[in-house]
Amino acid sequence: MALIVQKFGGSSVKDAERVMNVARIVTDTYKAGNQVVVVVSAQGDTTDDLIAKAKEINGKASKREMDMLMSAGEQISIALLAMACEKLGCPAKSLLGWQAGFNTSSVYGSARIKKLRTERIKVELENKNIVIVAGFQGICKYDDITTLGRGGSDTSAVAIAAAMHADRCQIFTDVEGVYTADPRKIPNAKKLKEITYDEMLELATLGAQVLNNRSVEMAKKYNVQLEVLSSYTNKPGTLVKEVTKMEKMLIRGVTKDTDVARISILGVPDIPGIAFKIFGKLAAQNINVDIILQSVGRDGTKDIAFTVSKANGPAALEALKGIDVISDFEMKCDTNVAKVSVVGAGMETHPGTASTMFEALYSADINIQMISTSEIKISVLIDAADADQAVAVVHRAFFPEEDNN
């Protein structure tokens, strides 16, 4: 008898039919003799609908009340899924975040899990119940409802799997696994049988949108074996784990991220401390900076450019206005850019990876604006209009068409 944690996102439970479909997956796993803990997100557009309701009343509502509001979404979906499991003849109990033991920090809207008390889940499992837990939510030391932020349901699932030493944590999505590129756009994209945590982390960060980043970090830390698979088809997905035997394939995937804004500061005086002033101001405003590029400018000045998320673009410009040495200089925010990356743990020992990528882009006449590299990825910033073509040509360079099996 294995303990399996299964997580289903909002689109997997968006209506009665989809809820019944999920219930079939869950009860099949249960009937096969496993203990099953299920984590569910809010149905379809529920979260967005609730946000819209709030905005109609108060565009600046407190985060505490937003958490109170939003957490109702998962409450509805867990109850409906429990009813669906009952309908299929299996005993099921739904648990809210606080009932399932999720103690979090009191940072409303983006709380961190501090402790997971699994007593209640264990009791319900011992009583032969399928346990259905509301993802994305917990309770803080003030006995207030908190939410973990968007994508938090993945984290909820991994946390349960880690705390209970589950045999596997299955993340059901609307794709069949992790691919070398977006399969809707690159027909030649391959589904990976397995991938390491670090590679998955890079892919998650880079916009592959399969798994929430924090959940992969947590899975790595507690060595939780993740499986990404589809709730629509009955096929094996992609395993995320510490791979010991390295596959031949160097590159795990090619990704695109269009939620990027590039801030350029031109003609900054070439004096010490300027970088600290700039990035200190941004850090103070909680603005995450991704790629940073500093180049020598003309006449004893330098140019500094960096990328932030699109939403943070205006705030970044605002934050920089306060720096005296910058105020007179030219600042630009360009949101018409995209980041394309190749990811793979094997690339560090194969110096040809970067040149293969750059050659592919050059052959397609795509201009590279910025470059950033790490041990397991290479990212380039290019014009947004070129992004899809860039993914296609780079993917083809690493996965030639004739290699299609």
Residue 215 DSSP symbol: H
Decide whether 54 or 293 has the Cβ nearer to its own copies: 54
Tell me the C-alpha distance between 8 and 267, whole Å: 50
Q: Which residues bind its own copies (CB under 8 A)?
A: 16, 19-20, 50, 53-54, 56-58, 60-62, 64-66, 68-69, 71-73, 75-76, 78-80, 82-84, 86-87, 92-94, 96, 99, 120, 143-145
Decide whether 53 or 165 has the Cβ nearer to its own copies: 53
Decide whether 78 or 239 has the Cβ nearer to its own copies: 78
The answer to whether 261 and 313 have CB atoms below 8 angstroms apart is yes
| Minimum distance from residue 60 beta carbon to its own copies (Å) | 8
Decide whether 56 or 401 has the Cβ nearer to its own copies: 56
What is 17-43 written as a DSSP string?
HHHHHHHHHHHHHHHTT-EEEEEE---
| Minimum distance from residue 48 beta carbon to its own copies (Å) | 14
| Minimum distance from residue 145 beta carbon to its own copies (Å) | 7
| Minimum distance from residue 35 beta carbon to its own copies (Å) | 20
Decide whether 56 or 402 has the Cβ nearer to its own copies: 56
Which phi and psi (to 5°) does residue 296 adopt? Answer: -75, 130
Q: How far is CA 365 from CA 370, 394, 400, 401, in A?
A: 15, 12, 19, 21
The residue type of 143 is D
| Minimum distance from residue 75 beta carbon to its own copies (Å) | 4
| Minimum distance from residue 108 beta carbon to its own copies (Å) | 12
HSE-CB at 246 with a 13 A cutoff on CA atoms is: 11
Decide whether 65 or 176 has the Cβ nearer to its own copies: 65
Query: According to DSSP H, which parts of 189-333 are helical?
Result: 197-203, 213-222, 274-284, 313-321, 324-327
* Adjacency order of strands within the sheet including 370-374: 253-257, 337-343, 377-383, 370-374
Tell me the C-alpha distance between 9 and 305, whole Å: 37
The pair of structure tokens assigned to 216 is 């992969």
Decide whether 73 or 152 has the Cβ nearer to its own copies: 73
Name the 3-class secondary structure at 330: strand
Tell me the C-alpha distance between 308 and 216, whole Å: 22
| Minimum distance from residue 146 beta carbon to its own copies (Å) | 13
| Minimum distance from residue 343 beta carbon to its own copies (Å) | 40
Select from 96, 92, 117, 98 the least CA-distant residue to 35.
92
| Minimum distance from residue 83 beta carbon to its own copies (Å) | 4
Gyration radius from the chain CA atoms: 23
Decide whether 107 or 364 has the Cβ nearer to its own copies: 107
Decide whether 1 or 57 has the Cβ nearer to its own copies: 57
Contacts (Cβ under 8 Å, ≥6 apart) of 23: 81, 84, 85, 87, 88
The residue type of 96 is L
